[in-house]
Amino acid sequence: MVTVSTGVSQETGDAPRTITPTLEELKTSSYNGPNIEAALEALHQDGFVVLKNVVDVAHVERINSYMSKEADDILKNNLKPFNQGVNSNILQGPPLKDPEYLYNDVFFNPFVIQIMNAYLGANPIWNFVTGNNALPRTNGLRQPVHKDITFFHLQCPFFVIANIPLCDFNKTTGSTEFWLGSHTSTSGKDQVIATPDSKLANAKLRVGEPNTFILDEVREERRKIRPPIQPECEKGDIMLRDLRTWHAGMPNESDEYRIMLALGYQAQWYQNHTLRSKLPLSQGNFFMKHGGQPVEVRANLLPDETDFGKENDNFQFRRSVE
């Protein structure tokens, strides 16, 4: 069932803002003026917005079924390091080789790309694909508050992550904790600085530059201004997060995997020329056609026998020109 709105964003207290498409917008796969404005206000002010009902639920459920079975094998064979050093969460990318799981409303969602063109500038670059799995029954284990940034970053929008939940997100299933508005004034000075002894799975650290973690005192001062939230999302929703926004993986107390996909969009002007999605050559036509959307696909097309999960876990958001 599709919920239809009048084109006005939903906002309650400190809860994240949500954008629900009207019936006309669903027909045209395009937001009208009021919803574009509402989404941009949310991203600029909160660093986060939820786009409601923009993905076919059947598509989400098929991908979730595949990835849940794959997760059983990953854990059984210890194929992935735990994310952020906590044994509750792994990176797990979507299936890329089988056309049965390649859907335009997932990989090239028109509502997402419309907002990315407005927030980051014309023809944003899609160059990042992975996913995140909060493992079941993790008994209170959570990640430290962090940013996915290990360098002194710009203080304007340059990169956005689109998270696509494959199941309903709530506190029981381990909905990610977000610190809304934290992106507006944050800098690398708010983060723990890497030392020669610093190590972090899925991240390359440089001594003297930030690791991902937010300093304790900075975090607690921010809590006084605006404490964190765990958004509730349903299958069919997409969450957009400015890369600078603080967040943390939370305990999944349910009996099922809590998986969300992560697609990354970069501004054309940002000087990172090396970050690329790694995609199967056999599906090159699907990805390079980009669903006819105004987005640049920056990718390496590799042989199908490539371990794409492993390859896409290797990424750097920092400028390649410094």
CATH of 36-312, one of 3.40.50.1820, 3.40.50.300, 2.60.120.620, 3.40.47.10: 2.60.120.620
Q: Parse the chain into domains and list their residue ranges.
A: 36-312
pTM: 0.91
pLDDT score recorded for residue 1: 31
Q: Kindly provide the residue ranges of all beta strands, DSSP E only, lying in the chain, ordered along the sequence.
A: 18-19, 48-51, 89-91, 125-134, 159-165, 177-178, 191-193, 210-214, 238-242, 247-248, 258-266, 277-280, 296-297, 299-302
* pLDDT, tens digit, 9 for 90 and up, residues 123-159: 999 999 999 999 999 888 888 999 999 999 999 999 9
Please tell me the distance from the alpha carbon of residue 177 to that of residue 83, in angstroms, as a whole number. 15
* pLDDT, tens digit, 9 for 90 and up, residues 210-256: 989 999 999 999 999 999 999 999 999 999 999 999 999 999 999 99
| Residue ranges in the chain assigned as alpha helix (H) | 23-28, 33-46, 57-76, 104-107, 110-120, 216-225, 284-289, 308-312
pLDDT at 113 over 80: yes
